[in-house]
A = this chain, B = another copy of it.
């Protein structure tokens, strides 16, 4: 039974990711009774750190989902080790609603506290990136679980792209320690940039190999 279809693993992972991305919005709280003369607009606007954290994490999870599928488009078979490493990816993703709420709460707190939130928030991304790398390396090493028809070049491109993920999050973390809100906005743009199958990571070799 092992080593067959990846479809179930993907469906299960899709379920977890879909739930995590939907639970994010539960963090937005309806403002309670407003004092006379205070506009509901202001009460809603005051929650902007939560909105910013929400949109950032939403985009991040969306990109992770895209990457998860890109990865499994090359993987042909599954085994227990891959299921467990994939579990590490999912564990990271299920924690994101918590870390997002933490950011919403502590984004504007004094330096010592908001930096803790920044480290935890980016730390969970790094945790997830590590398991993405482990899962991919395990599956792709010596083509262990890959589709025999897998595009060699795309496989190498993915390996290189994932390798850049971990240091990338460290840089975001460093920016977050200096200017947390800015780092979130940057994260959105970087994430969208990474969503596109990255020519940069395929490198010069591509040209040669795809030539006639």
A residues with a Cβ closer than 8 A to B are 1-2, 4, 8, 10-12, 14-26, 28, 30, 34, 39-41, 44, 55, 58-59, 62, 65-66, 69-70, 73-74, 80, 83-84, 87, 90-91, 94-95, 97-98, 101-102, 105-106, 112-113, 116-117, 120, 154, 192, 195-197
Residues A14 and B22 in contact in the complex (CB < 8 Å), given A55-B91, A106-B40: no
**How many identical subunits does the complex contain?**
4
Chain A interface SS verdict (over half): helix
Q: For the A-B complex with A12-B17, A39-B112, A40-B106 known, give 4 more contacts whose Cβ atoms are closer than 8 Å.
A: A14-B15, A30-B105, A44-B120, A84-B195
8 Å CB contact of A102 from B24, B30, B62, B73: B30
* Chain B: CB-nearest residue to A51: B95
Contact at B154–A1, with CB atoms within 8 Å?
A: yes
**Complex CA distance for A44 and B95, rounded to whole angstroms:** 14
Residues A22 and B19 in contact in the complex (CB < 8 Å), given A39-B116, A192-B84: yes
